[in-house]
A and B are shown apart, each in its own frame.
Chain A
């Protein structure tokens, strides 16, 4: 497999770009992120960098009010269904991260009238923890679940 060299290559070439973009996100006001596609957050290679770039903070507390519905084992790593329901009031945004993907951020939804719910199908590179991060009342909450990816797709 060409997996590892490729990743190292990406890390080296993009390391400087990530540093620059992570720096610039410190100065970007939160509301601007909703209008522009958050390039820095999607380009980040580590989950805490991605959370920081997206929300301007990586301080999260675990919450039982977030229901993350995903399979314990994914039969097809290119189509993994995730559903996030945030049962707290004033949900501003929901973001989904796969810790071990080349770029952890999968999707980010912000709400201005719709309920705190987001679902999508996503690709996973390998077995990993999946994080649902919810922004509510200016604070970040999270829930996580491990999804096992079977390489052969035989359910073993």
Chain B
């Protein structure tokens, strides 16, 4: 199985924390023709759900569609997150694959 990395970067400035999540994922739309056989389409394969939890409590969740780019880079903002708080991001795709990443707010 392909290695799907979930990378999280956080940056806190003046009480606001920017969170950027990068997942290595093909985000195949299902509309692209197969290069080997023009009559077929490459089957859709994309992340559907992404959940953000701060210290175990959900703060945001996103529904992504096939129109989100390959290797999706998703950003959210948090207010009042403290240094040392744990942010966990989990995702799942339409083929039942899932993954997660954790970061400590610094």
Contact = CB atoms under 8 A, between A and B. Distances in A.
A145 interface: no
Interface in B19-67: 20, 29, 31, 33, 48-49, 52, 54, 57-67
B63 A107 contact: yes
A122 B65 CA distance: 9
B102 to A, nearest CB: 17
A79 B69 contact: yes
Interface residues of B, number: 31
B60 A114 contact: yes
Contacts of A114: 52, 59-60, 76-79
Contact of A83 (B48, B59, B70, B75): B75
Contacts of A142: none
A78 to B, nearest CB: 6
Nearest to B46: A42
A128 B67 CA distance: 14
A37 B65 CA distance: 9
Interface residues of A, number: 33
Contacts of B73: 119-121
Contacts of A112: 58-61
The residue among B49, B63, B68, B74 with the most chain A CB atoms within 10 A of its own CB is B63
A121 B69 contact: yes
Interface of A: 2, 6, 34, 37-38, 42, 78-80, 83, 98, 101-103, 105-115, 117-124
Interface of B: 16, 20, 29, 31, 33, 48-49, 52, 54, 57-70, 72-79
